Amino acid sequence: MNSFAGPVGGAAPIIADKAPMIDPFGRAVTYLRVSVTDRCDFRCTYCMAENMTFLPKKDLLTLEELNRLCSAFISKGVRKIRLTGGEPLVRKNIMFLVRELGQHVKAGTLDELTLTTNGSQLAKYADELYDSGVRRINVSLDTLNPEKFKAITRWGDYHKVMEGIDAAQKAGLKIKLNAVALKDFNEFEIADMLRFAHGRGMDMTVIETMPMGEIDEDRTDQYLPLSKLRADLEEQFTLTEIPYKTGGPARYVEVQETGGRLGFITPMTHNFCESCNRVRLTCTGTLYMCLGQNDAADLRTALRASENDGYLSAAIDEAITRKPKGHDFIIDRTHKRPAVARHMSVTGG
């Protein structure tokens, strides 16, 4: 049994007292993704409806509670934490949580603390992120065309994101660009985005759109299989499979012409469930054992039941025993409704 060392919300070092959590299919759970808010300052068309109803702020865990939950997972063998949203950097006082979790990196009890961002707040926070122990971030960017960027994000400012990328690189943060591949929107831009990313020393990953949450558009019209995108890219580039891994689901190739890396995340055409090492925690304390399934565990009740982490530890253990083998996403004309009702912003992708 693990107990929290020091006062609730404190940053006392934690020592893992057991091997990594093992799910029913023999996979070690070593990666925790934490959605610190469901709110975002963009309204990307494939992710959200324009007029979203967000969670009442009273339902959110405090940053101190999120820190305690993350620390409990670290004590149980989690070695990587990614902060997501919504947009994580719009959460008020988010740098408190980043600094607290960064102490685990400095203590050696966490291998990596990272985050996925839309880049809108990076100019403000880049230096502090680096000082807190963050070394690598993902920036979501689906086009290099400012007008198309405005169209797909609805509320986004392309030039502000570019300023954020500049600031992050200046601060010493390594960046990977994430682009969702969308038919008839950016499929013929990916080659130029690849050259842009690799020209600035950034990796890039392309992602298939996923059927999560009600949106204003038909995902059937947006869906672009990455098998087709890859075939198109291979008319311009020499792509060589490499064993490079960052702890997530991407499969990487090296691009001979640029010398950079390109990742493919394919939840639709080739799911990555056999190697899944992650669980997802929401800002309300709900743990989803699979992005594409609805089964979840309520950790908020366990968290608030006692300042001793025994009950919380047992709740986490029970949840891991329910981690499913995989997801079953479908996008076609006969499946109009999303496979999962919650929006991506709830669980952070």
User: How do residues 41-90 score in pLDDT, each as one tens digit?
Assistant: 888 777 777 777 788 888 899 999 999 999 999 999 999 999 999 999 99
Q: CA neighbours within 13 Å on the CB side: how many for 210? A: 25
Tell me the residue ranges of DSSP E strands in the chain: 21-22, 28-29, 31-35, 80-84, 112-117, 136-140, 174-181, 203-208, 239-241, 251-255, 261-265, 278-281, 286-288, 296-298
Annotated binding-site residue numbers for [4Fe-4S] cluster: 40, 44, 47, 273, 276, 290
Q: Are 64 and 9 in contact (CB under 8 A)?
A: yes
- Of the pLDDT bands very low, low, confident and very high (cuts 50, 70, 90), residue 327 is low
Annotated binding-site residue numbers: 33, 40, 44, 46-47, 82, 86, 116, 140, 176, 210, 273, 276, 278-280, 290
- 99: Cβ–Cβ under 8 A, 6 or more apart, which residues? 132
Annotated binding-site residue numbers for S-adenosyl-L-methionine: 46, 86, 140, 210
How is residue 10 written in tokens? 């404190």
Q: What is the pLDDT of residue 267?
A: 63
- Of the pLDDT bands very low, low, confident and very high (cuts 50, 70, 90), residue 125 is very high
Annotated binding-site residue numbers for GTP: 33, 82, 116, 176, 278-280
* Dihedral over alpha carbons 193, 198, 199, 200 (to 10 degrees): 100
Alpha helices in 108-199 (DSSP H): 122-131, 146-153, 158-171, 190-199
Enclosing H/E stretch for 132:
none
Measured CA to CA, the distance from residue 254 to residue 261 in angstroms comes to 5
Measured CA to CA, the distance from residue 306 to residue 302 in angstroms comes to 7
* Structural domains of the chain sorted by starting position, each given as residue range(s) with its CATH number in brackets: 21-347 (3.20.20.70)
State which of 47-51, 149-153, 203-207 shows the largest mean pLDDT.
203-207
Residue 211 predicted with pLDDT over 60: no
Length reported for the chain: 349
Residue 184 predicted with pLDDT over 90: no
- Report CA-CA distances (Å) from 164 to 207, 278, 288, 340: 22, 28, 31, 32
* Dihedral over alpha carbons 103, 69, 305, 285 (to 10 degrees): 140
CB atoms within 10 A of CB 225: 16
Measured CA to CA, the distance from residue 118 to residue 177 in angstroms comes to 10
Measured CA to CA, the distance from residue 172 to residue 299 in angstroms comes to 35
What average pLDDT score do residues 299-327 get?
91
What predicted TM-score, i.e. pTM, was given to this entire model? Answer: 0.84
What average pLDDT score do residues 272-276 get?
72
Measured CA to CA, the distance from residue 5 to residue 67 in angstroms comes to 13
How is residue 34 written in tokens? 């934490």
Q: What is the pLDDT of residue 306?
A: 92
Q: What is the pLDDT of residue 172?
A: 98
Strands 112-117 and 136-140: parallel
- Of the pLDDT bands very low, low, confident and very high (cuts 50, 70, 90), residue 292 is low
Using DSSP's 3-state secondary structure scheme, residue 137 falls into strand
**97-118 confidence digits (pLDDT tens):** 999 999 999 999 999 999 999 9
